[in-house]
Structure 1
Amino acid sequence: MPTDARRTTLATIARAAGVSVATVSKVVNGRSDVAPQTRARVQELLYRHDYLAPVFRHTEVPQSPTIEVQFARDLRSYAAEAVEGIVEAAAELGASVVISKSSRAPHWARDLVSAGRRALIGVTSVYTAAHLDSLARAGLPLVVLDPLHLPHSRVNSVGATNFAGGLAATQHLLSLGHRRIAYLGGPAMAACNQARAHGYRAAMEAAGVPVPADYVRPGEFTHRTGLAGAAALLELEEPPTAVFAGNDEIALGVIETARTRGLRVPEDLSVVGFDDTLLARMASPPLTTVRQPLREMGGVALRTALRLADGEKVESHHIELATELVARASTAPVRPACRG
């Protein structure tokens, strides 16, 4: 069984390896005068026991705490805005930020602590019970930004009001007279996607508008999902007059597919996105979307991580920031011939 890193000593490792304390010390300090087989055995025990050298066991906050920010997916426009919020907050508070792709290598949590990290921010990342146990043993606080799954009581997280955003997006389209409204979303099991889809359905139900099964299509939060999903929707016998997309990338895919089929946005098809990234503002036409306060969310995640690293308790393990509909030029009243 791994020993708590705070109680593991060089003597503990030496006894387990059958070598002297001096030999273990040489391995810890990177000395070359240790036989390769002995070095390998000692290193394995150091990892197994989550041993941290004394320099990493201190309880005082360093002058410039370093926070690791890990991404499980490609760094798209969504991630860029979240990172800006994290970096801005770090600069304000005198912290440093290291950005990396998520690693699941053995002893990854211990390696982060050994590298001087004070806390970990995972962006749309998924952490299993085993990952959480590793982080707990290493004493490394975790904050998940925009969690893909429902918030866990063991995980501190920062998200947005996805249900309210989905509700607002659909109500906006309903207010323009649309009734044939489709939803193109992200992964079916992602909590944020489910909340946005539930908001969409709630608005449709409240308006007394039925939702055909073919009008709700999960996928990925990618441009490709927008291209393929819109193609399938526009081939229906009764295609939608409006599409609520699960994020801005999907929305841009919808607009592109509409154009290739000779449809005008918004005259023939209204489109609403989600996130309000730079893509939404650069789109042609500029995209109506639900603003997810990504920079603010990044700042809250960074501040929460620093508080946890300092041993403070936070008021709630999950924080949600408000979304807001931003109306631009990709939505318009439904044409009279398309009503019903």
Structure 2
Amino acid sequence: MGDVPSRQVTLATVADIAGVSLATVSKVVNGRADVANTTRARVEGVLQESGYVPQRGRRVAEPARTIDAVFDCLDSPYELEVIRGVTEAAAELAVDVVVSRVRDADRGGPLTPQDQWAQRLKSNGRAGLIVVTSELTPAQVEAFARAGLSLVVIDPLNSPRTEVTSVGATNWTGGVAAAEHLLSLGHRRIGFVGGPTQSVPGQARLHGYRAALEGAGVAYDPALVLHGGAFDYPAGVEMGGRLLDLADPPTAVFGASDTTALGVIEAARRRGLRVPDDLSVIGFDDTVLARLATPALTAIRQPLRDMGRVAVRTLLKLIDREPLDSHHVELATQLVVRDSTAAVQGHR
């Protein structure tokens, strides 16, 4: 590199040699603090060896970056809370965000074949993407990699590849906390209503529920565990009705999402049952719906906004080729007790 005239050295050349993004080189040249020490040292070493000299008195313009935030749907408080976190973090870091859906509402399939999707994002100047609550195929993940697009997933329905970087919550611990709360109130017949069986977060919540039952010496009853096609209100109404129509119905139900739990409450209302007097119900997410419900919903709180913020910061580190402390980040959940759970009242 020493024999290359400095006038031939560009920031792009430095970025390529250092193995970082052009934006990271610009940050180092401009003296920005938001660059890892090891990365800064590597870039400064290349700048010195190459003989690169910026124009005196002028700051190097940092290229604007745009990322995609892709959702399976955009009609629930869960997605809105994640979007708030993503957009807040992006604004702080001077990054533009384009929000879109991964599926076509009319055809029900992917917007485009995986390579076309990846190339479209790349040609539109996207630096990377965050995919939320969607099922990604290995072929899609490989297409993003071929296109040079960094990827972070939030609460994926499946685990496409172990090396895919993800952000989520402590779903198993949350499932344990939900069941233990109901057990502490004296409930022993506790139902579980979940979403799609392939959902990784949903399965973790179910396993936490089972672990709490086993820890309390309560036998697991598969008749009390149901799964729906989605984590939504209609599925909660349907599954809640099936549980409550059993010959020996549960005295409490753990809904694997707030909207599912609220559907269970509606199923109870249609049968003349009172919550929490006749049936205790707990949800998962703690969205605004939990606080506005009547009765107010006891729920396991996911830090949804923080998950969005962490996803943005993690994605930018991947784009800048900075080392990650972990490729799988789980933020803590918390039990929030409100009015929809109470001590068991005996036989109905």
TM-score range, shorter chain: 0.7 to 0.9
Q: Deviations over 1:207-241 (max 9, x none)?
A: 11112221000112010111011111111111000
What's the CA shift for 1:112?
0.7
- Using the TM superposition, give the Cα deviation of residue 161 of structure 1 relative to its aligned residue in structure 2, in angstroms: 0.5
Written as runs of structure 1 = structure 2, the 5 A alignment for 1:192-203 is: 192-203=201-212
Whether contact under 8 Å (1:151, 1:318) holds in the other structure is no
Partner of 1:137: 146
Partner of 2:89: 89
The answer (yes or no) to whether the contact 1:182–1:216 under 8 Å persists in 2 is yes
Map of 1:69 onto structure 2: 69
- Which residues in structure 2 correspond to 1:165-180 (within 5 Å)? 165-180=174-189
5 Å-filtered alignment, 1:157-168, equals 157-168=166-177
Q: CA deviation at 1:59?
A: 4.2
- Separation in 2 of the partners of 1:315 and 1:151? 21
2:325 to 305, 315, 323: 315
Two-structure CA RMSD over aligned residues (Å):
1.5
The alignment partner of 2:340 has SS state of coil
Q: In the alignment, does 2:240 pair up with 1:230?
A: yes
Q: CA deviation at 1:64?
A: 2.9
The one of 193, 214, 225 equivalent to 2:223 is 214
Match of 2:269 in 1: 259
Separation of aligned partners in 2, 1:181 and 1:149: 26
Partners in 2 of 1:213 and 1:134 — Cα distance?
40
The one-letter amino acid paired with 2:117 is: W
Q: Percent identity?
A: 53
Superposed CA offset, 1:136-189 (max 9, x none): 121110000112123733311101110000000000000001111000011112
Is the CA contact 1:193–1:246 (under 8 Å) kept in the aligned structure 2?
yes
SS of aligned partner of 1:334: coil
Q: Distance in 1 between matches of 2:135 and 2:274?
A: 39
How far apart, CA to CA, are the structure 1 residues paired with 2:135 and 2:265?
Answer: 31
SS at match of 1:336: coil
Alpha carbons 2:178, 2:254 under 8 Å: kept: yes
| 8 Å CA contact 2:86, 2:312 repeated in 1 | yes
- Farther-moved stretch of structure 1 (177-186 vs 128-137): 128-137
| Residue 151 to residue 330, structure 1, CA distance change in 2 (3 Å) | farther
Partner of 1:299: 309
Instruction: Mark the CA change 1:127 to 1:337 in structure 2 (over 3 Å): closer, same or farther.
Output: closer
Moved over 6 A (4+): none
Q: In the alignment, what sits opposite 2:342?
A: 332
Tell me the TM-score normalised to structure 2 length.
0.78
Residues 144 and 155 of structure 1 are in contact (CA less than 8 Å); yes or no, is this contact kept in structure 2?
A: yes
- Return the alpha-carbon distance in structure 1 between the equivalents of residues 112 and 333 of structure 2: 33
- For 2:320, the aligned partner's letter is D
- Distance in 1 (alpha carbons) for counterparts of 2:167 and 2:326: 10
TM-score, normalising length: structure 1:
0.80
- Give 2:40's aligned residue: none
Task: Judge conservation of contact 2:68–2:130 (CA < 8 Å) in 1.
Answer: yes
Q: Look up the equivalent residue of 1:255 and give its one-letter code.
A: I
Amino acid at match of 2:345: R
In structure 1, C-alpha distance between the alignment counterparts of 2:247 and 2:347, rounded to whole Å? 15
1:124, distance to aligned residue in structure 2 (A): 1.2
| Contact 2:70/2:101 (8 A) holds in 1 | yes
Q: Aligned equivalents of 2:264 and 2:136: distance in 1? A: 32
Structure 1 unaligned residues grouped into runs of 5+: 1-57
Which of 236, 250, 255 is the equivalent residue of 1:240? 250
Q: Distance in 1 between matches of 2:222 and 2:276?
A: 24
1:287 is the counterpart of 2:297: yes
2:196 to 187, 201, 217: 187
Deviations 1:245-289 (A, max 9, x none): 010000110111111111110011000000001111111011000
Deviation at 1:92, TM superposition (A): 1.1
Unaligned stretches of 5+ residues in structure 2: 1-19, 24-61, 103-110
Distance in 1 of aligned mates of 2:183 and 2:137? 40
Mapped contact 1:151–1:157 kept (Cα < 8 A): no
The letter of the residue matching 2:197 is A
